[in-house]
Amino acid sequence: MAHVGDATLADIHEYILLISNRVMEKQAKPKFKGFRRPKRDFPYITRTYRPFTSPASISVSLSPALSVVWDSSIASLRYAYPTSMQMSGEKNREENRKQILYMESANVPFSFIRGQKIDFKGYDLIDGNPEFIYQVGKIKVREKISLGKTAKSFVRHFIISGLALNGDNERISLDLNHQKHANIKVSKGTLTNNILQLTATEAAEFSVEVSL
């Protein structure tokens, strides 16, 4: 508005200040109700940030009381937490830690993974339950996670193919050491001090149930 001239601009400015004195801007009323998270049928999967795990992790909400986090970078379950907890935000990190119901201790769960590259293949949904698929060399693993017998228990069902062991004298191991109290039952193999030993025949298909 330079063509108006400085004197006229000063008059306009003074006029605007005069008529707007003590005038409050009217706030538009919201046209929509506040956002509410839609109800979802269990189980369901969430891909979002979770603390105490890698960015490549997946949350599986099994019931209103129980969710678990599965980490595709190490091909294993990380921890379980109440579904009602958001489990997000660095400022709430310590509060989130207190809410964890169960946490796996091992970063290398299966003995055949040590020093080997994990090739995560994704997951299939079976009745809504995810079955995670990954490969380590010639060994292919499918791990399905589902709700257990109670609202605070979950089952990890494994199918392993491609194992090359020297008969039943040689075994693989699955490290099930964990923090916080939990009862662990296995369908096959020998569980001693939270280490599950399996022959090739047993490892072909077995399950681990964790009750909190």
Q: Would you kindly state where each structural domain of the chain is located, as residue ranges?
A: 44-211
Residue 84: per-residue pLDDT: 87
Judged by DSSP in three states, 106 sits in coil
Residue 200: per-residue pLDDT: 92
CA distance 81 to 66: 6
Beta strands 119-126 and 102-104: pairing type? unpaired
Judged by DSSP in three states, 9 sits in helix
pTM of this prediction exceeds 0.85 = no
Q: What is the DSSP letter of 155?
A: E
pLDDT along the chain (212 residues), means of 10: 78 83 73 70 91 93 95 96 80 84 95 96 96 97 96 96 85 96 96 96 97 96
Residue 35: per-residue pLDDT: 61
Residue 165: per-residue pLDDT: 85
CA distance 62 to 45: 9
- Specify burial of residue 44 (Cβ count, 10 A radius: 0-12, 13-18, 19+): middle
Residue 90: per-residue pLDDT: 65
